[in-house]
Amino acid sequence: MIFLITNRKLVEDRDFYDVIQEAIKAGIYAVILREKDLPYELLLPIAARIKKIIGNSGVKLIINNNIEVAKAIEADGYHTSYTSFINEYLSFNRVRGVSVHSLEEAIEVEKHGANYIEYDQLQRKNTAKLKN
């Protein structure tokens, strides 16, 4: 399965939504809307537009780190950090994904019901290199 993890700052020379449409056409499994710097009021319309773009393509929409937006648009999933997943009870009865930094964390979140796990170290290093 291939997940597209968004970062609108990395597609400065292209239209953010066009990139998502192209990824959908290419056969991705899911879009993880990961725009951590945006508050609910700004993230909600972006999420709604992406949900409309996805339509009935079968691609899943997963909201990163904003449970209120995930619930408001009835997203297919919610993604969060290891610490949030373990320490907070988040009522969300759909796909739940978790970023982890070790095998031990992966085992723990799997035991607590995570549907998928993202090993975050590689992603952070590559994102920093791309942005610089």
Residue with the bigger pLDDT between 1 and 100: it is 100
68 pLDDT band, cuts 50/70/90, is very high
| pTM for this model (two decimals) | 0.86
pLDDT of residue 29: 96
15 pLDDT band, cuts 50/70/90, is very high
pLDDT digits (tens, 9 = 90+) for 77-90: 999 999 999 887 77
3-state SS, one letter per residue, for the chain: CCEEECCHHHHCCCCHHHHHHHHHHHCCCEEEECCCCCCHHHHHHHHHHHHHHHCCCCCEEEEECCHHHHHHCCCCEEEEEHHHHHHCCCCCCCEEEEEECCHHHHHHHHHCCCCEEEEHHHHHHHHHHHHC
